């Protein structure tokens, strides 16, 4: 039976279904990649690439000049620059080795530099990476070039490097502007320096600015979050990502610096996320997926309206390319047929590259069942709905058990999280904050696994 939409009690549902579920930036999620499926699977998957189909490329820069205590990324703090310079040398070698293995230069339709803080790179190192990529790939004329930026380390030299890269999109971390919250997460960053960096980026030709805001941070009162959201709107970004802070000190040791008693509870997180979303939509941003907001004319908003939104290891994207090649320590690649993750510690990664070995550490070969479930989960995360006839048209008879599962789940769901209308399985608007829980119903790997995840809201 479907419960009336207004009856959904989010807190009770979270308590019943288990509050920790994956963010579903891939299916299966990275904890299910196998250690015995690294270099051999990587070679096999690379052999499936062709010269004409554009790919996306991700470069991971696992260094920061500070360590924010909330951070969930694979990164480390460094006060010296020489390890960064040496690491860039390994990246250049890895890119060249990839090109040599293929024997041709694939087309590149999108490039993303993440980390860590890619804006920490010296202009010369940015130029070295750009040259390596130009030598290994053929950039499409409309290739999107995006970089994650920490405003505190953007020097005039770094800006020169970003300009040379012909950056089209910058993703700026803000989190919260209040000094109390910033002190509790070790991330001092003024509104003025953030605004100045955005102005510089726009003057350099960067057309899309994304700003990340976090709710659920320590000492973050509703007033502090509201003030941050208002200031972020003042910055006039094209996109805003509103993420819930994932407190996983059992995975990220530096998060033990954040005191449990300073964190908002589940009810406060739910209320904060809902209020911030209302403010953003009231300011003219369109909701995109579970946690993004974009201006009407932005590519992400257009993709969401067209049902063409995708989800990859960086989150929501309008990037349509099926293949994502990741370079660098911990980087994840997605191929037709499987996923690969590189060695995580930078020292071991550099040793493998220096020895001429692939950096692939572990991987996963997709089964037909994984492809179907991965598609269903991606559509739920992007559209809050699965077109069951389209699923059958795409995957044939193999998807019939999955269609039956969807119909059964909607029929037996007593919380009002999922419904079926015609041949469409969907999550009603009131239940969308719990989308990750509905997605997890289709995750065949989740049951019985030992991996731990972040809060669903
Ligand atoms: S600057 Fe970004 S990547 Fe580096 S520690 Fe802070 S949040 Fe993490």
Site to probe by mutation for ligand 1, drawn from 173, 175, 253, 254 as the one with most ligand atoms within 8 Å of Cβ, is: 173
Expressed in angstroms and rounded, the spacing between residue 116 Cα and the centre of ligand 1 is: 5
Q: What is the pLDDT of residues 220-245, one digit of tens each?
A: 999 999 999 999 999 999 999 999 99
Could you give the CA distance from residue 249 to residue 259 in angstroms, rounded to a whole number? 10
User: For ligand 1, atom 8, which residue shows the shortest CA distance?
Assistant: 71
For the chain, the domains span 1-29+367-457, 30-327
Sign of CA dihedral 43, 47, 51, 55: negative
Considering only the top CATH level, what class is 1-29+367-457? mainly alpha
Closest CA to 309 of 317, 23, 27: 317
Expressed in angstroms and rounded, the spacing between residue 165 Cα and the centre of ligand 1 is: 22
Q: Which atom of ligand 1 is nearest to the CA of 72?
A: 8
Expressed in angstroms and rounded, the spacing between residue 214 Cα and the centre of ligand 1 is: 13
Expressed in angstroms and rounded, the spacing between residue 68 Cα and the centre of ligand 1 is: 5
Q: Which atom of ligand 1 is nearest to the CA of 70?
A: 7
Residue 275: its H or E element: helix 266-282
Q: What is the pLDDT of residues 237-266, one digit of tens each?
A: 999 999 999 999 998 999 999 999 999 998
Above 60 in pLDDT, residue 86? yes
Residue 276, CA distances (Å) to 89, 215, 455 in order: 42, 9, 18
Q: What is the pLDDT of residue 314?
A: 87
Closest CA to 83 of 325, 331, 349: 349
User: For ligand 1, atom 2, which residue shows the shortest CA distance?
Assistant: 116
CATH 3.30.413.10 is held by the domain 30-327: no
User: Between the ranges 83-92, 146-155, 443-452, where is the mean pLDDT highest?
Assistant: 83-92
Expressed in angstroms and rounded, the spacing between residue 143 Cα and the centre of ligand 1 is: 26
Q: What is the pLDDT of residue 3?
A: 43
Expressed in angstroms and rounded, the spacing between residue 213 Cα and the centre of ligand 1 is: 13
Residue with tokens 């939104």: 309
Confidence band, pLDDT 50/70/90 cuts, at residue 412: very high
User: For ligand 1, atom 6, which residue shows the shortest CA distance?
Assistant: 68
**Residue 216 φ/ψ region, left for φ over 0, alpha for ψ in the -120 to 50 degree band, beta for the rest:** left
Mean pLDDT of the chain: 93
Q: What is the pLDDT of residue 7?
A: 59
Please list, in sequence order, all residues whose beta carbon lies within 8 angstroms of the beta carbon of residue 253, skipping any fewer than 6 positions away: none
Q: Which atom of ligand 1 is nearest to the CA of 116?
A: 3
Confidence band, pLDDT 50/70/90 cuts, at residue 181: very high
Residues with CB under 6 A from ligand 1: 64, 67-68, 71, 73, 75, 115-117, 150, 173
Q: What is the pLDDT of residues 352-382, one digit of tens each?
A: 999 999 999 999 999 999 999 999 999 999 9
């Amino acid at each position: 039976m479907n419960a009336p939409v207004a009856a959904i009690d989010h807190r009770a549902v979270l308590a019943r279904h288990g509050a920790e579920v994956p963010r579903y930036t891939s299916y299966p999620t990275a904890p299910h990649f196998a250690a015995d499926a690294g270099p051999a699977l990587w070679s096999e998957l690379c052999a499936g690439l062709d010269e004409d189909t554009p790919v996306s490329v991700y470069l991971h820069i696992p260094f920061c000049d500070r360590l924010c205590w909330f951070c969930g990324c694979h990164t480390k703090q460094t006060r010296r620059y020489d390890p960064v310079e040496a690491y860039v040398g390994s990246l250049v070698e890895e890119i060249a080795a990839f090109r040599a293995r293929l024997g041709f230069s694939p087309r590149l339709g999108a490039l993303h530099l993440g980390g860590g803080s890619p804006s920490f790179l010296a202009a010369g190192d940015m130029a070295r990476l750009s040259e390596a990529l130009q030598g290994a790939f053929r950039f499409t004329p409309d290739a999107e070039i995006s970089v994650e930026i920490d405003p505190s380390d953007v020097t005039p030299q770094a800006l020169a490097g970003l300009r040379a890269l012909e950056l089209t999109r910058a993703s700026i971390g803000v989190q919260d502007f209040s000094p109390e919250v910033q002190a509790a997460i070790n991330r001092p960053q003024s509104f003025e320096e953030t605004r100045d960096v955005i102005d510089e980026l726009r003057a350099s030709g960067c057309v899309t600015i994304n700003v990340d805001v976090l709710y659920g941070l320590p000492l973050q009162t509703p007033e502090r979050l509201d003030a941050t959201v208002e200031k972020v709107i003042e910055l006039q970004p094209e996109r805003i990502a509103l993420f819930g802070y994932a407190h996983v000190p059992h995975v990220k040791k530096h998060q033990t610096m954040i005191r449990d008693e300073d964190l908002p509870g589940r009810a406060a997180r739910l209320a904060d996320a809902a209020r911030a979303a209302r403010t953003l939509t009231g300011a003219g941003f369109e909701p995109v997926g579970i946690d993004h907001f974009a201006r009407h004319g932005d590519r992400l908003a257009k993709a969401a309206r067209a049902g063409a939104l995708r989800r990859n290891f960086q989150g929501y994207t309008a990037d349509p390319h099926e293949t994502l090649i990741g370079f660098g320590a911990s980087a994840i690649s997605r191929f037709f047929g499987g996923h690969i993750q590189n060695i995580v510690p930078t020292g071991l990664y550099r040793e493998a590259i220096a020895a001429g070995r692939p950096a692939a550490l572990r991987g996963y070969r997709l089964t037909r069942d994984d492809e179907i479930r991965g598609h269903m989960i991606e559509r739920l995360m992007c559209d809050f709905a699965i077109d069951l006839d389209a699923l059958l048209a795409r995957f044939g008879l193999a998807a019939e058990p999955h269609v039956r599962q969807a119909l059964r789940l909607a029929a037996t769901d007593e919380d009002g999280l999922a419904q079926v209308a015609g041949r469409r399985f969907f999550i009603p608007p009131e239940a969308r904050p719990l989308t990750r829980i509905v997605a997890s119903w289709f995750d065949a790997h989740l049951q019985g696994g030992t991996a731990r995840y972040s809060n669903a809201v």
